[in-house]
Amino acid sequence: MSSLWLDQARGSEPACPALQGATRADVCIVGGGYTGLWTALQLREQSPGLDIVLLEAQECGAGASGRNGGFMLSWAAKFETLLKVCGTDEALRLLGESERIAADVAGYLKRHGVDAQLRQDGWLWTASNAAQVDSWMPCIELLARHGQQAFVALPADEVRRLSGSAAHLAGVLSRSSATVHPGMYVRGLRRIALAKGIRIYEHTPMRSLRARPQPKVATARGEVRAAKVVLAMNAWSTRFRELNKGVVVVGSDLVATAPHPEALEKIGLTSGVAISDSRLFTNYYRNTCAGEMVFGRGGGDFAFNGAVGRLYEGPSRFAREVAAILHRFYPALAPLGIVRSWSGPIDRSMDGLPCFGHLGGHPDIVYGYGYSGNGVGPTYLGGKFLASMVLENDDAWRHSALARGLRGRFPPEPFRYVGSRVVKAALVRKEAAEDQGQAPARLDTMLAGLAPGGLVPVARKEKA
């Protein structure tokens, strides 16, 4: 799969070799996206003598890490869920860690000479219809009760100015958030990892994983025997029956305009702000340093039984629909045309937070997945969780409630697939009614409430 981001970032760097023959390592990481690379870098920092092998099925960033919108957000919008899962002290700790992600990553990249076009201009959480207005208030009030202020309320005219669109009726700003060029980011992490002596093998898909007597990862032309194995496979984790139960895999579809900085400047969209509305299957969008407009929408194709396969390869089959929403929000950009489209899988967990655990309870095989559409930032923390679990550290990361495995399980197939489509259809009808200023059907509202967590919390009650 090739996205706009990877094509722009690949440059002349050669691919890493495929694994040929048998090798041994202290740690074998499966997956060359943000989670896998950050885990490798955290392990190198905490235990410099480790021999670390990283296996990537295609090229680093070919999965979700190279296909996203480049929103580097915190967990502030998920604070209520953090409290329920982790308790007050750990929720506040993780909130603080997540609020520092963009600044910490920016500093790390600068120290290592990586330009990933990271712009810490914030995240604008908006309402694109009247029903969405103030959907953020329960979150803001809960944060305030715990002495936290992660969002700043903005006047409506300021929301429209920052977003460059009159389609936004209201909104709040998270100043700690950022946008990044996903391809330059993942390729930069790859470069750092190689410079630090981490052995990366690309075009080396895992064929099988044997747990005992010692973990062994078999590939098409080789194998890795390792003391520890890390599964950092995002939606592709569903190949394991245990992990298949923990997520629903659904597509997200993106389009990009031709670069035209003058057109963006004319509508006032000059900063690197990340923008989204308050739908469950969110509309999300941002400009790029080159002057493109990238617009994405969640809620694409569902993967039956979590089988990703080639479902999200090639141009998006929803490109025309996504482009129509872009042009509704930004009619002045319609003449630019759409030059690229692509799709990517999102692994939605039950509560919208990632899960870290031991596969089958095995002490030497760990996994992390389920970022639920908010992985660009939190995968940085994912590396800390997984490194701590590998090293068996006696610290808050390893003992966190997020590191205790699956917290919920979806129904088996075909009920999961059929149920997902029923809920999605209800959501589409509900949000279409709200776009028209109409009250949605009660049944649609009820069914929509069954949806798993997304980028932002679902409104718990209808507005009068």
The closest of 356, 401, 389 to 46, measured between CA atoms, is 389
User: What gap in Å lies between CA 435 and CA 340, rounded to an integer?
Assistant: 27
* Structure tokens belonging to residue 279: 């739908």
Q: Residue 455: inside a domain, yes or no?
A: no
Q: Is 230 helix (H, G, I), strand (E, B) or coil?
A: strand
User: What gap in Å lies between CA 82 and CA 428, rounded to an integer?
Assistant: 28
Q: For residue 12, what pLDDT is reported?
A: 80
User: What gap in Å lies between CA 169 and CA 175, rounded to an integer?
Assistant: 19
Q: Residue 261: inside a domain, yes or no?
A: yes
* Type of residue numbered 52: I
* Type of residue numbered 395: D
Helix, strand and coil content of the chain, in percent to the nearest 5, comes to 40, 20, 40
Strands (E), 352-453: 355-358, 365-369
Q: For residue 458, what pLDDT is reported?
A: 59
Q: For residue 206, what pLDDT is reported?
A: 98
The domain that contains 372 carries what CATH number? 3.50.50.60
In the 8-state DSSP scheme, what is residue 339?
E
Q: For residue 1, what pLDDT is reported?
A: 54
Give 444's contacts (C-beta < 8 A, 6+ positions apart): 426, 427, 429, 430, 433
Indicate the number of domains in the chain.
1
* Structure tokens belonging to residue 117: 């076009």
Q: Residue 432: inside a domain, yes or no?
A: no
Q: Residue 423: inside a domain, yes or no?
A: no
Q: Residue 429: inside a domain, yes or no?
A: no
Q: For residue 49, what pLDDT is reported?
A: 98
Chunk the chain into consecutive blocks of 10 residues (it has 464) and report each block's average pLDDT, rounded to whole numbers. 88 93 99 99 98 98 97 98 98 99 99 99 98 96 98 98 97 98 98 99 98 94 98 97 96 97 96 96 96 96 91 94 98 96 96 97 98 98 99 99 96 93 93 94 92 71 39
User: What gap in Å lies between CA 90 and CA 79, rounded to an integer?
Assistant: 11
* Type of residue numbered 240: F
Q: For residue 459, what pLDDT is reported?
A: 52
Q: For residue 461, what pLDDT is reported?
A: 44
Q: For residue 21, what pLDDT is reported?
A: 98
User: What gap in Å lies between CA 62 and CA 71, rounded to an integer?
Assistant: 17
Q: For residue 462, what pLDDT is reported?
A: 41
Q: For residue 463, what pLDDT is reported?
A: 39
User: What range defines the domain where residue 285 resides?
Assistant: 4-403
The closest of 224, 236, 189 to 52, measured between CA atoms, is 224
Rounded to whole angstroms, the maximal C-alpha distance in the chain is 66
Do residues 45 and 17 lie in contact, with contact meaning Cβ atoms separated by under 8 Å? no
The whole model's pTM is what? 0.96
Do residues 59 and 65 lie in contact, with contact meaning Cβ atoms separated by under 8 Å? no
Q: Residue 438: inside a domain, yes or no?
A: no
pLDDT digits (tens, 9 = 90+) for 162-219: 999 999 999 999 999 999 999 999 999 999 999 999 999 999 999 999 998 899 999 9
In the 8-state DSSP scheme, what is residue 294?
E
Q: Residue 442: inside a domain, yes or no?
A: no
Q: Residue 253: inside a domain, yes or no?
A: yes
